[in-house]
Structure 1
């Protein structure tokens, strides 16, 4: 009798196929058409790709880069690579030349999988320019992926050859391609040092890069599966459920969502391009039950549902939401009132997986709709410490959230120093996030430690001010940042984008008076700038407001408050 290792990606797939080979694993979107990929068909694609990679010479421990949109093919690459002991670094299709070059240098992929065509983007052009600028590393082989739709004209892989060979995936003909021998760039962390060395790296993700060059955080095979199973249990994913997978699976947010769904036996609606109206139609058609994303994504669905298309989303059961733009409570209220769905705030990162803390259904909405939660598995340890001396703090006090467990980053690719800087002497991962222990096993996320404001000697979460401003009926989007004012003291500065129907009488003075009604005097912004837009950046996990650029605006606008409607 043979047994299956259910803590590996290979074992997870074998389990899914054995349980129900004809069940849908993924729904790919081709134009307006939905194409079903069953578990058995997915397994066949994994086996075929595994053979091609083995024939090309991929060895255990090597890295593979996947520059693919949200096609089921992107997940095929993850499972096929892992079956050979290789690890995959996802490359967002929106990355520029410099970002791709950084991955080529840091991860040293032996193969890069690139979409033959996608959404009018010149992905190979970006890859080619990146490879040219990273000429000091071995030229990777290129695997050309056509995706779920047959190309209108035959694809010649010779046009994708960077000099290391290229082939058309699925053809069975690698055209004599032999991948280069590449060095191991992984530096094991304190977490990886205590893991089984035979449990190889499987998946790597870029960090946000908010404090410099993005790091590449890698996790072991068993960690991916164990965490996926833990998330599935908390999210309540069961066979027959369908999860909207619109965040790129190249990023940890989309990846963690996909793995949780597969671990729970559900299916994935793979959306390669986000069109809110089209997504709502497909959510209704496939009876989507789970959605995870930022309030930027949910906000577009919310707005479209209210103004254009009231799709029947009554199948929705669970939403996981990250608050990037201050709209999470509105979305949660909508999901509850219209569809009876439960919403939980989330907490995670590339280094600990995206869904590491989640709230339970028993937690009150006033708590559950905010960032944070309880560790999704008993083997995840958490503590709150003084960020200066790592002294453990009691419940109720703000400090740095630190984590320890199999979910924590096992290695960094191409960055030996990061493995040491990211951990305490006793092996805890420094999240860089300010949080509070609630005393009952949960942790409330406050903000990134770099964003916290020290106003009149008190630590203040800018979100507290943002939420008050957002309650004003004329405020659409708001962001609060801190700058150094006269005398060296920190000042809170607010940037507000008004609603389309906002009264022109609602100016900075009105909004500051609005804040004074509920907030302590020292929390009232020293300035409120009314602008027509906020600078944003689109990453693998959603759209985020560029606080660094806003700080520059605030520092340059100390002479007077701006109002684009009057300036």
Structure 2
């Protein structure tokens, strides 16, 4: 195969592709128009002095300009740094500094987000590489940097000279969920993005004339971008939400006979809550979901009964989203678990015992390690972190706990930091949480491990269904159902769990729960 077979440009050459390529806010964008947009964007970027190796930060909601910027940057050999629209000044400053972005393409405003006010809190000295802002939706915004309008090209620009194809150089930077020192930037090349997009299209057996996607996840995250690129590779039409809202998502799913969508459990829960129809989406074939909230198993059962087929999946910024997914041939309980079957036949998954350091047998929990064509190049400008994340034989250490199923699939159980070593055994919080939720009076539950008098014990937080449950009754019930070391040392009733927003959905702040547990125990 030539380099062109693994370029982003190769994804828009699908034979017998459906038209339009995209539909945004009811407006169709044909494949020819999209190709023209890429060429125009590349010419504009070149006129701004952007070339090979230069970084362009993209701080936009989902729109065709976002996609065109990525493909245009690939033509020039430039790099796109994806900025989460939920970011605020400290996070934006960190990304701009680490990436060394010369240009930022930014929204003038979107709903309640005041991009100019956020940028006003970023000092020029913090981001010395940044030279200019390109604004979508206005001629300029008040800022420390000069700004130009991006989405209304005022004159034709000379066609951009295509950079010599080096499809293994960085082209897209995702942010990780972050650490106390700020998120790392995950670098992907055209090869990793394009080859995985083709694997997704092939594994899902996508037909350009029969299938369509509702893209409701933000393009700034791997979950939204990977599903988008997979359907571009398939030549299928993509209906795009600029940002998720349940009502317009419901309308598009119903009116346009959408066959596929991907999102968080909470997204699908909100969509289902807006319709009383017993089976409102007869054309839906696959809804891949990431479980970020309690009660996802109950949601999956309800969705299944109403004809919304949920499929568990697995992914990360480092190996890309949709790395794996459940299959229709799986039993329902297996299909909805995180993990599933790798999209690429070349992908390899193994599990390492966190105590012994040896590879674990089938069914034994440990840290998931992955080798695949979708694996990232490394952490941008951070060789030490890259070295720590990759084994000597090229596997990515995911930091996730799971087990091999033995039939070619695997099961994701929890983040390594969330897994609990209780009584000498590795325990996934979900096992105890499911038992708690089966108890009368418990609507939701979260379990974390703490050090209690030198011994690892778990503490539970529950949300009451109606009458607050009694800890003694819950503990007695759990002692009947679980090994003693799994029974929580404390059970606290709360009104809600602490959460945080990410590019892919709302997630429970388990670190905050651990801190809350220690604070309450200390107060006793």
Task: Answer yes or no: same fold by TM over 0.5.
Answer: yes
Aligned mates of 2:82, 2:32 — CA distance in 1: 24
RMSD: 2.5
Write the distance in 1 (CA, Å) between the matches of 2:145 and 2:174. 26
- Relative distance call for 1:335 and 1:261 in structure 2 (3 A) is farther
- What secondary structure, in the 3-state scheme, does the structure 2 residue paired with 1:126 have? helix
Pair 285,445 (structure 1): closer, same or farther in 2 beyond 3 Å: same
Partner of 2:83: 91
Measured at CA, do residues 288 and 517 of structure 1 come closer, stay the same or move farther in structure 2, by a change above 3 Å?
farther
Of residues 309, 320, 342 in structure 1, which corresponds to 2:288? 320
- After TM superposition, give the deviation of residue 210 of structure 1 in Å: 4.7
Distance in 1 of aligned mates of 2:236 and 2:252: 16
Q: d(CA) in 2 for partners of 1:4 and 1:108?
A: 27
In the alignment, which residue of structure 1 is the partner of 2:162? Answer: none
Question: Once the 2 structures are TM-superposed, how far is the Cα of residue 559 of structure 1 from its aligned partner?
Answer: 6.1
For the Cα contact (< 8 Å) 2:167–2:189, is it kept in 1?
Answer: no
**Preserved CA contact (<8 Å) 2:217 2:243:** no
Determine if contact 1:56/1:174 at 8 Å carries over to the other structure.
no
Picking from 477, 498, 501, the partner of 1:535 is 498
Name 2:267's counterpart in structure 1: 297
SS of equivalent to 1:103: helix
Pairing partner for 2:467 from 495, 499, 503 = 503
Residue aligning to 1:9: 8
In the other structure, the counterpart of 2:19 is 23
Instruction: Name the structure 2 match of 1:371.
Output: 338
Q: Provide closer, same or farther for how the CA distance between residues 335 and 60 of structure 1 changes in structure 2, counting only shifts above 3 A.
A: same
2:458 to 492, 513, 523: 492
The answer to whether structure 1 residue 217 and structure 2 residue 186 are counterparts is yes
Change (3 A) 1:165 1:560: closer
Residue 256 (1) aligns with residue 226 (2): yes
Mean Cα deviation higher: 220-229 or 209-218 = 209-218
Counterpart for residue 42 of structure 1: 34
Check the 8 A contact 1:49/1:170 in 2, yes or no: no
Q: Report if aligned partners of 1:243, 1:268 keep a CA contact under 8 Å in 2.
A: yes
Q: Is the 8 A contact 2:105 2:150 kept in 1?
A: no
The one-character-per-residue Cα deviations of 1:367-394 (angstroms, maximum 9, x if unpaired) are 1111111221122122111336642222
| Residue in structure 2 matching 1:108, options 94, 100, 103 | 100
Partner of 1:380: 347
Equivalent in the alignment of 1:186: none
Question: Is the Cα contact below 8 Å between 1:104 and 1:131 reproduced in 2?
Answer: no
TM-score normalised per structure 1: 0.85
Q: Secondary structure at the match of 2:4?
A: coil
Q: Confirm or deny: 8 A CA contact 1:482 1:491 kept in the other structure.
A: yes
Q: Number of aligned residue pairs: give it.
A: 516
**What are the equivalent positions in structure 2 for 1:508-519 lying under 5 Å apart?**
508-519=471-482
State the SS of the aligned residue for 1:89: strand
1:144 aligns with 2:108: no
- Quick check: 2:369–2:398 contact (8 Å CA) kept in 1? yes
Farther-moved stretch of structure 1 (106-115 vs 389-398): 389-398
Normalised by the size of structure 2, how large is the TM-score?
0.92
Contact preservation (8 Å) 2:278, 2:306: no
Structure 2 counterpart of 1:156: 139
- 1:320-399 to structure 2, matched below 5 A, reads 320-339=288-307, 341-387=308-354, 390-399=357-366
- The whole-number CA distance in structure 2 between the counterparts of 1:271 and 1:257 is 13
The 2-side partners of 1:228 and 1:484 are apart by 44
Q: Which residue of 2 aligns with 1:189?
A: none
8 A contact 1:507–1:530 mirrored in 2? no
Provide the C-alpha distance between the structure 2 equivalents of 1:508 and 1:140, rounded to a whole number of angstroms: 59
- Deviation string, structure 1 residues 238-292 (Cα, Å, up to 9, x no partner): 2142222222110111111111222222222222233323321222112221121
Greater Cα offset, 278-287 or 527-536: 278-287
Quick one: which of 519, 525, 529 aligns to 2:488? 525
Contact 1:168 1:174 (8 Å CA) reproduced: no
Measured in 1, the distance between the counterparts of 2:474 and 2:28 equals 51
Say if 1:52 and 1:172, in contact at 8 Å, map to a contact too.
no
In the alignment, is the contact (CA less than 8 A) between 2:7 and 2:194 conserved in 1?
Answer: yes
Q: Determine the C-alpha separation between the residues in 1 that align with 2:463 and 2:481.
A: 21
1:430-469 alignment, distance < 5 Å: 430-469=397-436
What is residue 193 of structure 1 aligned with on the other side? none
- For 1:39 and 1:458, locate their aligned partners in 2 and report how far apart those are by CA, in whole Å: 54
Which of 222, 226, 231 is equivalent to 2:200? 231
1:72 aligned partner: 64
Contact 1:111 1:142 in 2 (8 A): yes
Asked if 2 retains the 8 angstrom alpha-carbon contact of 1:140 and 1:162, the reply is: no
Q: 2:512 aligned with 1:549, yes or no?
A: yes
Runs of 4+ off more than 4 Å: none
SS of residue paired to 1:484: strand
1:78 Cα offset (Å):
1.2
Which stretch has the larger CA shift, 364-373 or 294-303?
A: 294-303
* Corresponding residue number in structure 1 for 2:161: none
Contact 1:201 1:221 in 2 (8 A): yes
Compare 386-395 and 357-366 and name the one that shifted more: 386-395
Is 1:433–1:447's contact at 8 Å kept on the other side of the alignment?
yes
Question: Alpha carbons of 1:362 and 1:6: their partners in 2 closer, same or farther (altered >3 Å)?
Answer: same
Q: State the 1:212 CA deviation.
A: 4.5
Change (3 A) 1:473 1:89: farther
Deviation track 1:179-238 (CA, whole Å, cap 9, x = no partner) reads: xxxxxxxxxxxxxxxxx9653222111111156521100111021111112122333432
1:533, 1:544 → 2: CA distance?
A: 13
**Take 1:477 and 1:227, find their aligned partners in 2: how far apart are those partners?**
36
Q: How many angstroms does 1:515 deviate by?
A: 2.6
Q: Residues 50, 413 of structure 1: CA spacing in aligned structure 2 closer, same or farther, 3 A cutoff?
A: same
Q: Secondary structure at the match of 1:324?
A: coil
Distance apart, 1:476 and its partner CA: 2.8
Deviation of the 1:66 alpha carbon: 0.6
